[in-house]
Amino acid sequence: MKNTTPQSIVPNLDKWPVGSHERLINGYWELGMMRFHTFTNDCGEDLQNTYNCINNGLGVQTIYIDLLSLAGEDYRNKSQIMDIIRSDKPTWIWFINCEALLNGSLPSWLRSILTTYNADHIRVTFVLDNQEQFSSIFQRYSAPLYQSTIALDLQKS
């Protein structure tokens, strides 16, 4: 199996106790797990900040991208997402306002760039409003992002 951990990140799973947030985030990087989903009510600001601090400690930048803001932007040619992919800097992206993925060409484009570009240096989490939104975006067979994520573990340390 190809190691997809960016060379600038050196996870050390043995350093962290089983069940800790630190071991979880380090494991995501080491195992090359790249796309996650969670729900706003389950993964609040405090937990997001915890995950951000752990990522920052690994040298990973963390950013939030509002998907609704891409609607009026020429996102195919110039967008923060494309800049991140081209930079090769390890980055954890929190996608918010995922209702933008319910219509239009954005979900197809996003699937394409997240799966065809060399994006080993990126981990993304889609922060969803509810189960219905999750089902429409990730569980409907005809949806561009069909079954493209796993649940972000929200274990309590």
Report how far apart the first and last C-alpha atoms of the chain are (Å, whole number).
30
In the prediction, which pLDDT does 18 show?
Answer: 86
Task: Compute the average pLDDT of residues 68-85.
Answer: 78
CA distance 10 to 72: 38
Best CA proximity match to 25, nearest among 64, 65, 1, 53: 53
37-145: CATH number: 3.40.50.300
Task: Go through 50-65 and write b for each residue having 16 or more CB atoms within 10 A of its CB, e for each that does not.
Answer: ebbebbeebebebeeb
pTM: 0.89
Q: What is the pLDDT at residue 69?
A: 86
Per cent of the chain over pLDDT 70 is 88
Taking only the tens place, the pLDDT of each residue in 95-121 is 999 999 998 888 998 999 898 888 899
Task: Look at residue 2 in the predicted model and tell me its pLDDT.
Answer: 44
Q: Checking phi first, is residue 114 left (phi over 0); if not, alpha (psi -120 to 50) or beta? A: alpha
**pLDDT tier for residue 72 given thresholds of 50, 70 and 90:** low
Q: Where are the domains of the chain?
A: 37-145
Which percentage of the chain shows pLDDT scores above 90?
Answer: 52
Q: DSSP for 23-50?
A: HHHHHHHHHT--EEEEETTTS-HHHHHH
Tracing tokens 């609607």 back to the chain, one arrives at 71
pLDDT on residue 8: 59
pLDDT band of residue 145 (cuts 50, 70, 90) is confident
**Predicted confidence band of residue 88 (pLDDT cuts 50, 70, 90):** confident
At residue 125 the predicted structure's pLDDT band, cuts being 50, 70 and 90, is very high
Assign 149 to helix, strand or coil: coil
CA nearest neighbour of 60 among 91, 95, 32, 83: 91
Distance CA 49, CA 46 (A): 5
